[in-house]
Amino acid sequence: MGKTVRAYAITADAVARERERVGGDVEKMDVANVIALDKLELRDVGPNDVHMRVLAVSGEHNVDHAALADTVNIAEARGGRIYPGNSAVGEVVEVGADVTRFKAGDVVITHCNGDPDQFGYPLRIWAYDKPESVGWYGEEAVVGDWQLLPAPLDSGLTLWEIAALPLRAPTAYHMWRRALGIFRVKVSAEQLPTLNVLGFGGGVSELFLMLAKAEGHNAFFCSGSPDRRDALEKLGITGIDQKAFNRFASREDVGAFRKHVREITNAGDMHIVCDMLRGPVFDAGLAVAAREGVNISSGWQLSQVVTYNTTIQSVKQVTIDHTHYETIEGCAEATALYGKVFKPTIHKEIYAFEDLPRAFEEMHQNTQTGIPIVRVAADLPASVKDLT
């Protein structure tokens, strides 16, 4: 019989109750009313498993989607209950008989590639739509050793900064390499060595722009958060206040944004745009795309459906590209960039484990100053105490 621990769950019943409370208006739902502390019985440690104590986790937007059921009711699809959590830092407690990569006391990070296809890219995401998967918003977890990587404790990042990256860094790493590769099919480095690269708003975009800047390109961060713009400007990334354009609520606002981008790029526009391919920023991102540009996105925040004028984008030779998540090998390569390239912006408050639902509601309300981090373990191992 496995050990029972506290872990957060999202149930179809909780989603239904909250929807009923707000009369079916998803915009009025309170995520904190849906994510609730529950009990989880851990499975026995198998020969290829690792039992870990969770130290810290970060807030991820797919958990927001699971709580709102705004794109798909994933809790219902998974049988009525899911235990979410796509990224974590943990301490190894016990390893299975056949595990050689880790030992008790090691500090590890997770990845969420839940069902690799023949080329290593995920068909499903662990702790979301992968059947039988259990996430890491709990005190402890048992996972296959293939789901873990050694935590880069010598990267120069704090424990909280390390906790911000296991999902976001591989996503940004794959998106950047893919977007740059697509653009270079059309325009060589000899023809145009330095590109203008734009990212909208969130943690993945920040990391995407850090990669672009590290490779010598001009990087621009469009966000409504002055704290996040200030953090990136310290790295040489130009900030654009999204609120100055009313978050692109009208065609006039998009037009004003286009004019501004033309000015700050000397009429070059944006060669690569990191977008979410939906909502108000989609029209803005397409409006400022340069000829032969690439507009790239990961996930499906706000909607699963997007429309655009194909004639205009064809004439401009613009490529619109959708991605999902990295290969396991790519996750390891992204982890090697912690602290060297990736220096995430962390929300000012480190949330307590009991405050995880509030952390998600504040993320949903977009009031945080950076990536939200939740401290799960009250006591930390000696190997990371100097990193807090």
46, 144, 43, 103 alpha-carbon torsion, rounded to 10°: 70
Cβ within 8 Å of residue 259, ≥6 positions away = none
Greater model confidence, 303 or 104: 104
We find that the CATH architecture of domain 170-323 is Alpha-Beta Complex (3.90)
CATH code that applies to domain 4-164+344-385: 3.90.180.10
Residue 75 is predicted with a pLDDT of: 93
Quickly state the pLDDT bin for 27 (edges 50, 70, 90).
Answer: confident
**Portions of the chain given CATH number 3.90.180.10:** 4-164+344-385, 170-323
Tell me the mean pLDDT in the region 186-190.
98
Tell me the mean pLDDT in the region 148-174.
97
Q: What is the pLDDT of residues 368-379, one digit of tens each?
A: 999 999 999 999
Provide the whole-model pTM.
Answer: 0.94
Question: Amino acid identity, residue 314?
Answer: S
Q: What is the pLDDT of residues 53-92, one digit of tens each?
A: 999 999 988 888 889 888 789 999 999 999 999 999 999 9
The answer to whether the Cα torsion of 256, 262, 265, 269 is positive or negative is positive
C-alpha distances out from residue 190 to 73, 175, 193, 194, Å: 48, 22, 6, 10
